[in-house]
Amino acid sequence: MRRRLLAPAVLLLATALGCTEADPGASGPPPALPAAEPEVRPLGRIVPLPASVKPGGAPYALTAATRVGASGHPGVRAVAEQLAAHLRPATGFRLPVVADPAADLALALDPAAAALGDEGYELRSAPGRLTLTARTPAGLYRGVQTVRQQLPADIERTTVRHRSWKIAGGTVRDVPRFPYRGAMLDVARHFFTVDEVKAYVDRVALYKYNVLHLHLSDDQGWRIAVASRPRLTAVGAAAEVGGGPGGFYTREQYRELVRYAAARHIEVVPEIDLPGHTNAALVSYPELTCDGKAPEPHTGIDTGFSSLCAEKEETYAFAADVLGEIAALTPGRFLHIGGDEADSTAPADYRAMTDRFQPLVARHGKKVMAWHQLAVDGVPAPGTLIQYWGLDRTPGAEKEKVAEAVRAGAGVVLSPADRAYLDMKYADDTPLGLRWAGTVSVRRSYEWDPGAYLPGVPESSVAGVEAPLWTETLSTPEHLDTMAFPRLPGLAELGWSPAGGRDWDTYRVRLGEQAHRWDALGIAWYRSPEVPWPAGR
């Protein structure tokens, strides 16, 4: 996947963002923000930072008479309905969606706006008129997230608030830096229900993520029904870390998740981890092991002990069945075949298996996505998307293997574990999370440049960024919230915003202001001492 070349001018930098009274030094907690939000949020003071902002003029105000205008295009109408549904509970306004382009809050497609690309949008705000224009419904949907964030955080509440609802005057013209901005959820180590995953989708949608990567199988559990292999769920889904009951998605539930994400212009990338991380599959079908013996179900958190058997033809029949069914359920472009931590697979066997698994993905018209070991120990098929999860200190030779794959035509998604893994502890005293990659502070997760991260991998080969959330220590939606917030929004900004407009000292103020919104949304965020939070929170 190649990045489109888009270079919009960054018109607004620190000056318009203004008033960062927070201490720029790293030591000590920064001074608190005012307890209350401003009545009108300065234009562009949102996360992710827009590419271009021209503030000016008086604000637009939502009123009881506001109508939401949408053309007859079903995609536009759907986004307009989503926006109106979002704005109604807190405003109490009727907000009818009408086919009138002169409505005061109007959404429109402009197919000729090539510079807006697949997800860009333009927002114009003035008294009596707010317009959102994009080349695609996805662009309008991203723009809707800007509308939400420009409004007071109370807009996220589910009961009526009697107050003004203003959006600062001016123009935002915004396009993403990278086309791939992913959030990964591990539903294998601990299982999360359809509703819990939907709640996570809602959270990532607010920050303009466009991929939900679901890690659907691992040593502890198999989480998706496969009709041709019923024991995967009848047997392999019944465990999770710590001995809980586990669980799985039926095919219809998985389709429902795909639809839910698609309605938010988010593509689902399903992962079936092969040939390691397969204990749950081996428990279900012992004929897949080399010795034919069923291993014990695994409820611990160690890795690297399980492997499919390269010599057995059953292995390839199994992979063909599973990947074929998952491909049929998934409209998205990619099937992720894992490939990581196959520590008990002999190198020749790894190569033999991954050489045969990859064409199974292509057979169904999908592209391979895999963890970067495929580039180290295997040979990625042309067009593969390699997901890098190494560390700053990963040996150069390993990084060079990724660069080699890129020269052979692969793209890269960056998830460096010591930057982007949301399950790493923030600090030594963080109760949840792991620390094998070190602690990952909010600042550390924010201060790196995906376009210049891996030597020999030019920005043009970086598809984007992904924030994985592994769940060995996380078993409730509140746990997910605590590890994702406040780092998830920063990784969204790395994927979306131009590198030149970002810096930690202004970012941490914008981030602190988001706390009003997280409280309104009921998000169980972590109160990092690195960020200036609103006083009293």
Cite the active site residues. Answer: 341
Which tokens is 187 given? 């539903």
> What is the Cα 213 distance to its own chain's centre?
7
Name the minimum Å distance from CB 389 to ligand ACM: 5
- Closer to ligand ACM by CB, 340 or 513: give it: 340
Residues 6+ apart with CB under 8 A from 1: 179, 180, 367, 385, 411, 463
Q: How far is the CB of 351 from ligand ACM (least distance, A)?
A: 19
Please identify, using beta-carbon distances, which residue of 248 and 421 lies nearer to ligand ACM. Answer: 421
If the CB atoms of residues 181 and 213 are measured against ligand ACM, the closer one turns out to be: 213
Distance in angstroms (rounded) separating the CA atoms of residues 245 and 188: 12
- Closest CB to ligand ACM: residue number: 340
Tell me the closest approach of the beta carbon of residue 468 to ligand ACM, in angstroms: 7
- Smallest gap from residue 340 Cβ to ligand ACM (A): 4
Q: What is the DSSP letter of 38?
A: -
Residue 226 CA to residue 64 CA, distance in Å, equals 50
DSSP letter (8 states) at residue 58? P
* Nearer residue to ligand ACM within complex by CB, 147 or 422: 422
CA 385 to chain centre: 16
Whole-angstrom Cα distance, residue 474 to residue 526? Answer: 14
Q: What share of the chain is helix, strand, coil (3-state, %, to 5)?
A: 35, 15, 50
Task: Write the CA distances from 394 to 71, 113, 447, 458, integer angstroms.
Answer: 52, 42, 18, 18
State how far the Cα of 134 lies from the Cα of 465, in Å rounded to an integer: 23
CB of 444 to ligand ACM, least distance (A): 17
Ranges of H-type helices in 277-346: 279-284, 313-329
β-sheet bridge partners, residue 465: 181, 414
Structure-block tokens of residue 210: 């466009």
Between 170 and 339, CB nearer to ligand ACM? 339
Cβ proximity to ligand ACM, 371 vs 485, nearer residue: 371
> Which residues in this chain contact ligand ACM in the complex, by CB under 6 A?
340-341, 371, 389
Write down the least CB distance from residue 536 to ligand ACM, Å: 38
The answer to whether 68 and 98 are in contact (CB under 8 A) is yes
Start-to-end CA distance of the chain, whole Å, equals 42
